[in-house]
């Protein structure tokens, strides 16, 4: 059997749940805290995303582009 044969037990590469959730955060303008891999916490609103990064808009501070591989987790403020 070749390695390219489909086994049926492999998880899908993309579920699109992340895309749905990020679109929800953007549309509802939900404030978030983003914990980075260096343990820094960034607070703001997700304004844009693609497959590699998020753009976080912050009040009174510069907006940030954050690479997804640098994010430990993201949590809604007040959640």
pLDDT at 66 over 80: yes
Rg (Cα) of the chain, in Å, rounded?
16
**Topology at the third CATH level for domain 30-76:** SH3 type barrels. (2.30.30)
pTM, full prediction: 0.77
Residue 15 bridge partners (DSSP): none
Mean per-residue pLDDT of the chain: 89
Query: In this predicted model, what pLDDT tens digit does every residue of 17-44 receive, in sequence order?
Result: 999 999 999 999 999 999 999 999 999 9
- The domain ranges of the chain are 30-76
Q: How far is CA 77 from CA 6, 29, 52, 62, in A?
A: 41, 11, 23, 19
Phi, psi of 34 (to 5 degrees): -115, 120
As to burial, measured by CB atoms within 10 angstroms (0-12 exposed, 13-18 middle, 19+ buried), residue 26 is: middle
Task: Give residue 30's pLDDT.
Answer: 97
Distance CA 57, CA 43 (A): 8
Task: Give residue 4's pLDDT.
Answer: 52
């Amino acid at each position: 059997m070749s390695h390219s044969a489909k086994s049926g037990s492999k998880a899908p590469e993309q579920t699109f749940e992340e895309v749905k959730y990020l679109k929800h955060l953007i549309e509802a303008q939900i404030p978030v805290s983003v914990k980075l891999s260096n343990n820094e916490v960034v607070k703001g609103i997700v304004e844009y995303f693609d497959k590699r990064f998020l753009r976080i808009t912050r009040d009174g501070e510069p907006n940030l582009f954050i690479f997804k591989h640098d994010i430990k987790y993201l949590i809604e403020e007040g959640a």
